Amino acid sequence: MADQVTDWRQEQGEQARTGGPLKRRIGTARAPAVEGPAAERKQAGEAIFSLEGVTVTYSGVAAVRNIGFDIAMNEITALIGPSGCGKSTLIRCLNRMNDLIPGAVVEGKVLYHDQDLYAPDVDAVEVRKRIGMVFQKPNPFPKSIYDNIAFGPRVLGMKDDLDGIVERALRRGALWDEAKDRLKSSAFGLSGGQQQRLCIARCLAVEPDVILMDEPCSALDPISTGRIEDLMLELKELYSIVIVTHNMQQAARVSDRTAFFTVELDEGEQQRTGRMVEFDDTDKMFTNPADPRTEAYVTGRVG
Protein backbone atom coordinates (compact mmCIF):
# COMPACT_ATOMS: atom_id res chain seq x y z
CA MET A 1 0.00 0.00 0.00
CA ALA A 2 2.70 2.45 0.99
CA ASP A 3 4.73 1.65 -2.13
CA GLN A 4 1.79 2.18 -4.40
CA VAL A 5 1.16 5.50 -2.85
CA THR A 6 4.76 6.56 -3.25
CA ASP A 7 4.77 5.68 -6.92
CA TRP A 8 1.63 7.55 -7.66
CA ARG A 9 2.93 10.49 -5.81
CA GLN A 10 6.13 10.57 -7.75
CA GLU A 11 4.22 10.64 -11.00
CA GLN A 12 1.85 13.37 -10.06
CA GLY A 13 3.63 15.33 -7.43
CA GLU A 14 7.18 15.48 -8.71
CA GLN A 15 7.03 19.07 -9.72
CA ALA A 16 5.55 20.21 -6.46
CA ARG A 17 8.08 18.22 -4.52
CA THR A 18 11.08 19.62 -6.24
CA GLY A 19 9.84 23.12 -5.70
CA GLY A 20 9.03 24.22 -9.20
CA PRO A 21 8.34 27.88 -9.89
CA LEU A 22 6.02 29.49 -7.39
CA LYS A 23 5.76 32.64 -9.35
CA ARG A 24 3.07 34.03 -11.49
CA ARG A 25 3.66 33.64 -15.15
CA ILE A 26 4.93 37.17 -15.49
CA GLY A 27 7.26 36.65 -12.57
CA THR A 28 8.92 33.58 -14.02
CA ALA A 29 10.39 35.56 -16.85
CA ARG A 30 11.67 38.25 -14.55
CA ALA A 31 13.69 36.18 -12.12
CA PRO A 32 14.43 32.68 -13.36
CA ALA A 33 17.78 32.45 -11.59
CA VAL A 34 16.20 31.87 -8.19
CA GLU A 35 14.85 28.50 -9.23
CA GLY A 36 18.24 26.96 -9.92
CA PRO A 37 19.27 25.50 -6.59
CA ALA A 38 15.76 24.42 -5.70
CA ALA A 39 15.43 22.21 -8.75
CA GLU A 40 17.46 19.44 -7.18
CA ARG A 41 15.42 17.03 -5.18
CA LYS A 42 15.99 17.31 -1.48
CA GLN A 43 16.62 14.43 0.86
CA ALA A 44 14.74 13.67 4.02
CA GLY A 45 16.03 15.75 6.89
CA GLU A 46 17.22 18.57 4.70
CA ALA A 47 15.68 21.95 5.30
CA ILE A 48 12.52 22.55 3.34
CA PHE A 49 11.76 25.82 5.09
CA SER A 50 14.35 28.27 6.37
CA LEU A 51 13.08 31.14 8.45
CA GLU A 52 15.35 34.11 8.86
CA GLY A 53 14.48 37.01 11.16
CA VAL A 54 10.73 36.61 10.69
CA THR A 55 8.65 39.27 12.41
CA VAL A 56 4.88 39.44 11.97
CA THR A 57 2.98 42.56 12.91
CA TYR A 58 -0.76 43.11 12.96
CA SER A 59 -1.47 46.79 12.30
CA GLY A 60 1.92 47.69 13.77
CA VAL A 61 1.71 45.41 16.83
CA ALA A 62 4.25 42.61 16.69
CA ALA A 63 2.82 39.13 17.25
CA VAL A 64 6.12 37.31 16.84
CA ARG A 65 9.56 38.84 16.56
CA ASN A 66 12.78 37.73 14.96
CA ILE A 67 12.14 34.03 14.47
CA GLY A 68 14.75 31.94 12.70
CA PHE A 69 14.95 28.15 12.35
CA ASP A 70 14.85 25.42 9.74
CA ILE A 71 12.05 22.94 9.12
CA ALA A 72 13.23 19.62 7.81
CA MET A 73 11.78 17.56 5.02
CA ASN A 74 9.80 14.40 5.83
CA GLU A 75 9.83 15.19 9.50
CA ILE A 76 7.20 16.43 11.89
CA THR A 77 8.11 19.76 13.39
CA ALA A 78 6.06 20.83 16.41
CA LEU A 79 5.55 24.40 17.55
CA ILE A 80 4.65 24.56 21.23
CA GLY A 81 4.20 27.33 23.74
CA PRO A 82 1.59 29.15 25.80
CA SER A 83 -1.41 30.94 24.27
CA GLY A 84 -0.60 34.18 22.54
CA CYS A 85 3.01 33.27 21.79
CA GLY A 86 2.47 33.50 18.06
CA LYS A 87 2.63 29.84 17.07
CA SER A 88 -0.47 30.07 14.92
CA THR A 89 0.68 33.37 13.47
CA LEU A 90 3.96 31.79 12.49
CA ILE A 91 2.45 28.68 10.93
CA ARG A 92 0.13 30.85 8.89
CA CYS A 93 3.18 32.59 7.44
CA LEU A 94 4.32 29.35 5.92
CA ASN A 95 1.57 29.26 3.32
CA ARG A 96 0.73 32.93 3.30
CA MET A 97 -2.64 32.53 5.01
CA ASN A 98 -1.71 35.68 6.92
CA ASP A 99 -2.34 37.57 3.71
CA LEU A 100 -6.05 37.21 4.47
CA ILE A 101 -5.81 39.18 7.70
CA PRO A 102 -6.02 42.91 7.05
CA GLY A 103 -3.06 44.75 8.50
CA ALA A 104 -0.77 41.71 8.77
CA VAL A 105 2.80 42.43 7.67
CA VAL A 106 5.56 39.82 7.47
CA GLU A 107 9.18 40.94 7.63
CA GLY A 108 12.24 38.79 7.27
CA LYS A 109 12.62 35.80 5.02
CA VAL A 110 10.53 32.65 4.78
CA LEU A 111 12.55 30.50 2.43
CA TYR A 112 10.81 27.47 0.97
CA HIS A 113 13.13 25.39 -1.19
CA ASP A 114 15.36 28.46 -1.14
CA GLN A 115 12.67 30.72 -2.58
CA ASP A 116 11.40 33.55 -0.44
CA LEU A 117 7.63 33.08 -0.13
CA TYR A 118 7.20 36.79 0.45
CA ALA A 119 9.17 37.89 -2.60
CA PRO A 120 7.05 40.32 -4.60
CA ASP A 121 6.64 38.04 -7.59
CA VAL A 122 5.49 34.96 -5.65
CA ASP A 123 1.85 34.07 -6.10
CA ALA A 124 0.14 33.20 -2.80
CA VAL A 125 -2.31 30.87 -4.57
CA GLU A 126 0.62 28.93 -6.04
CA VAL A 127 2.19 28.69 -2.57
CA ARG A 128 -0.99 27.27 -1.04
CA LYS A 129 -1.21 24.58 -3.71
CA ARG A 130 2.12 23.22 -2.46
CA ILE A 131 1.66 23.87 1.21
CA GLY A 132 -1.64 22.59 2.52
CA MET A 133 -3.24 23.44 5.81
CA VAL A 134 -5.49 21.72 8.35
CA PHE A 135 -7.25 23.97 10.80
CA GLN A 136 -8.05 23.86 14.47
CA LYS A 137 -11.74 23.27 14.02
CA PRO A 138 -12.71 20.77 11.32
CA ASN A 139 -14.09 22.85 8.47
CA PRO A 140 -15.68 20.54 5.92
CA PHE A 141 -17.44 22.29 3.07
CA PRO A 142 -21.25 22.06 3.09
CA LYS A 143 -21.08 19.41 0.38
CA SER A 144 -20.89 15.65 0.08
CA ILE A 145 -17.83 13.75 1.28
CA TYR A 146 -16.87 13.10 -2.34
CA ASP A 147 -17.20 16.75 -3.32
CA ASN A 148 -15.20 17.85 -0.30
CA ILE A 149 -12.24 15.82 -1.52
CA ALA A 150 -12.81 16.56 -5.19
CA PHE A 151 -13.03 20.32 -4.72
CA GLY A 152 -9.28 20.91 -4.61
CA PRO A 153 -8.42 18.71 -7.60
CA ARG A 154 -11.28 20.29 -9.54
CA VAL A 155 -10.19 23.88 -9.00
CA LEU A 156 -6.62 22.94 -9.84
CA GLY A 157 -7.75 21.31 -13.06
CA MET A 158 -6.90 17.73 -12.05
CA LYS A 159 -9.89 16.28 -13.86
CA ASP A 160 -8.63 12.86 -14.91
CA ASP A 161 -9.63 9.94 -12.73
CA LEU A 162 -11.29 12.05 -10.09
CA ASP A 163 -12.81 8.93 -8.52
CA GLY A 164 -9.33 7.48 -8.16
CA ILE A 165 -7.96 10.68 -6.63
CA VAL A 166 -10.81 10.76 -4.12
CA GLU A 167 -10.35 7.12 -3.17
CA ARG A 168 -6.59 7.44 -2.73
CA ALA A 169 -6.94 10.63 -0.69
CA LEU A 170 -9.52 9.01 1.58
CA ARG A 171 -7.38 5.90 1.97
CA ARG A 172 -4.38 7.94 2.89
CA GLY A 173 -6.49 10.02 5.24
CA ALA A 174 -7.54 6.76 6.95
CA LEU A 175 -11.18 7.48 6.25
CA TRP A 176 -11.91 5.23 3.28
CA ASP A 177 -13.37 2.31 5.20
CA GLU A 178 -15.74 4.53 7.11
CA ALA A 179 -16.72 6.74 4.19
CA LYS A 180 -16.75 4.52 1.11
CA ASP A 181 -20.43 3.64 1.41
CA ARG A 182 -21.57 7.20 1.96
CA LEU A 183 -19.47 9.25 -0.42
CA LYS A 184 -22.52 11.11 -1.66
CA SER A 185 -23.86 12.04 1.76
CA SER A 186 -23.12 15.30 3.50
CA ALA A 187 -19.78 15.72 5.22
CA PHE A 188 -21.63 17.23 8.18
CA GLY A 189 -22.90 13.76 8.99
CA LEU A 190 -19.40 12.65 10.01
CA SER A 191 -18.16 12.82 13.59
CA GLY A 192 -15.69 15.51 14.60
CA GLY A 193 -12.69 13.21 14.30
CA GLN A 194 -13.89 11.90 10.96
CA GLN A 195 -14.42 15.46 9.76
CA GLN A 196 -10.85 16.33 10.69
CA ARG A 197 -9.54 13.28 8.84
CA LEU A 198 -11.69 14.38 5.90
CA CYS A 199 -9.99 17.77 6.04
CA ILE A 200 -6.60 16.05 6.06
CA ALA A 201 -7.62 13.84 3.14
CA ARG A 202 -8.94 16.90 1.31
CA CYS A 203 -5.57 18.52 1.77
CA LEU A 204 -3.76 15.39 0.51
CA ALA A 205 -5.92 15.23 -2.62
CA VAL A 206 -4.18 18.24 -4.15
CA GLU A 207 -0.75 16.63 -3.69
CA PRO A 208 0.90 19.16 -1.43
CA ASP A 209 4.52 19.06 -0.41
CA VAL A 210 4.01 20.22 3.14
CA ILE A 211 1.05 19.94 5.50
CA LEU A 212 0.58 22.60 8.12
CA MET A 213 -1.63 21.64 11.06
CA ASP A 214 -2.86 24.33 13.39
CA GLU A 215 -3.89 22.52 16.59
CA PRO A 216 -5.62 19.80 14.57
CA CYS A 217 -6.74 17.79 17.58
CA SER A 218 -7.77 20.46 20.03
CA ALA A 219 -11.46 19.96 19.25
CA LEU A 220 -11.29 16.16 19.32
CA ASP A 221 -11.60 13.40 21.90
CA PRO A 222 -8.54 11.28 22.85
CA ILE A 223 -9.44 8.38 20.57
CA SER A 224 -9.85 10.59 17.52
CA THR A 225 -6.67 12.39 18.52
CA GLY A 226 -4.82 9.08 18.65
CA ARG A 227 -6.03 8.16 15.17
CA ILE A 228 -4.87 11.47 13.77
CA GLU A 229 -1.50 11.12 15.45
CA ASP A 230 -1.06 7.66 13.92
CA LEU A 231 -2.03 9.14 10.60
CA MET A 232 0.56 11.88 10.94
CA LEU A 233 3.29 9.36 11.59
CA GLU A 234 2.28 7.51 8.42
CA LEU A 235 2.09 10.68 6.39
CA LYS A 236 5.51 11.97 7.29
CA GLU A 237 7.01 9.31 5.02
CA LEU A 238 5.57 11.27 2.15
CA TYR A 239 5.11 14.79 3.38
CA SER A 240 6.76 17.31 5.63
CA ILE A 241 4.47 18.24 8.50
CA VAL A 242 4.43 21.27 10.76
CA ILE A 243 2.07 21.11 13.71
CA VAL A 244 1.05 23.69 16.25
CA THR A 245 -0.11 22.09 19.45
CA HIS A 246 -1.04 23.00 22.99
CA ASN A 247 -0.66 19.42 24.01
CA MET A 248 2.93 18.73 25.02
CA GLN A 249 2.42 14.99 25.15
CA GLN A 250 1.28 15.20 21.57
CA ALA A 251 4.41 17.08 20.55
CA ALA A 252 6.52 14.53 22.38
CA ARG A 253 4.68 11.60 20.80
CA VAL A 254 4.69 12.62 17.18
CA SER A 255 7.29 15.24 16.43
CA ASP A 256 10.92 14.88 15.42
CA ARG A 257 11.86 18.42 16.29
CA THR A 258 10.21 20.97 18.49
CA ALA A 259 10.31 24.73 18.64
CA PHE A 260 9.30 26.31 21.95
CA PHE A 261 7.82 29.80 21.92
CA THR A 262 7.00 32.11 24.75
CA VAL A 263 5.42 35.49 25.30
CA GLU A 264 7.57 38.37 26.43
CA LEU A 265 7.00 42.01 27.10
CA ASP A 266 8.73 44.14 24.52
CA GLU A 267 11.50 46.30 25.86
CA GLY A 268 10.18 49.76 26.57
CA GLU A 269 6.76 49.24 25.09
CA GLN A 270 4.14 47.41 27.06
CA GLN A 271 3.36 44.97 24.30
CA ARG A 272 3.37 41.23 24.50
CA THR A 273 5.27 39.64 21.68
CA GLY A 274 5.99 36.01 20.87
CA ARG A 275 9.58 34.84 20.67
CA MET A 276 11.21 31.53 20.03
CA VAL A 277 13.14 30.26 23.04
CA GLU A 278 14.59 27.04 21.78
CA PHE A 279 14.53 24.73 18.80
CA ASP A 280 16.01 21.25 18.90
CA ASP A 281 15.32 17.55 18.53
CA THR A 282 12.14 16.67 20.36
CA ASP A 283 13.85 14.11 22.57
CA LYS A 284 16.34 16.66 23.75
CA MET A 285 13.71 19.35 24.24
CA PHE A 286 11.69 17.13 26.54
CA THR A 287 14.53 15.47 28.44
CA ASN A 288 17.39 17.89 28.54
CA PRO A 289 16.39 21.35 27.31
CA ALA A 290 19.08 24.02 27.15
CA ASP A 291 16.90 26.86 28.34
CA PRO A 292 15.34 26.87 31.84
CA ARG A 293 12.14 28.39 30.44
CA THR A 294 11.70 25.39 28.15
CA GLU A 295 12.25 23.05 31.05
CA ALA A 296 9.72 24.89 33.18
CA TYR A 297 7.14 24.68 30.41
CA VAL A 298 7.61 21.06 29.33
CA THR A 299 7.61 19.81 32.89
CA GLY A 300 4.38 21.66 33.50
CA ARG A 301 5.64 24.11 36.06
CA VAL A 302 4.59 27.04 33.87
CA GLY A 303 1.61 26.73 31.62
Partner 1 sequence: MLLLGVLLVDVVRDGIGQLSFDFLTSFSSINAKQAGIEAALTGTIWLMAVCAAFIVPVGVATAIYLEEYADNDRWWNRLIEVNIQNLAAVPSIVYGILGLAFLVRGPLSLGNVVLAGGLTLGLLVLPVVIIAGREAIRAVPASIREGSLALGATKWQTIWRQVLPASIPGIATGVILALSRAIGETAPLIVVGAATFLAFNPSGLDSSFTALPIQIFDWISRPSNDINNYKPLAAGGILVLMILLMAMNSIAIWLRNRYEQKW
Binding residues for partner 1, rule: CB under 8 A, are 95, 97, 100, 125-126, 128-130, 132-133, 135, 137, 139-143, 151-152, 154-156, 188, 199, 202-203, 206
Cβ nearer to partner 1, comparing 34 with 198: 198
Q: Torsion over CA of 204, 210, 211 and 213, rounded to 10 degrees? A: -170
- Within 10 angstroms of residue 48's Cβ, the number of other Cβ atoms is 26
By beta-carbon proximity to partner 1, the closer residue of 86 and 208 is: 208
Closest approach of partner 1 to the CB of residue 112, in Å: 14
Minimum CB separation of residue 71 from partner 1 in Å reads 18
Most distant CA atoms of the chain, gap in Å? 61
Cα-flanking dihedrals φ and ψ of residue 39, to 5°? -70, -20
Between residues 65 and 202, which has the closer beta carbon with respect to partner 1?
Answer: 202
Q: Please, which residue, 97 or 276, has the CB nearer to partner 1?
A: 97
The residues, any chain, with a CB within 8 Å of residue 46's CB and separated by 6 or more, are 72, 73
List Cβ<8 Å contacts ≥24 apart for 278-283: 279/69, 281/256, 281/257, 282/78, 282/251, 282/252, 282/255, 282/256, 282/257, 282/258
* H or E element, residue 11: helix 2-17
Minimum Å gap between C-beta 269 and partner 1 is 26
State which residue, 59 or 270, has the beta carbon closest to partner 1: 59
Q: How far is the CB of 139 from partner 1 (least distance, A)?
A: 4
Q: Which is nearer to partner 1, 219 or 263 (CB)?
A: 219
Q: State how far Cα 124 lies from the chain centre.
A: 15
Residue 183 CB, nearest approach to partner 1 (Å)? 18
Residue 296's H or E segment, with its range, is helix 292-298
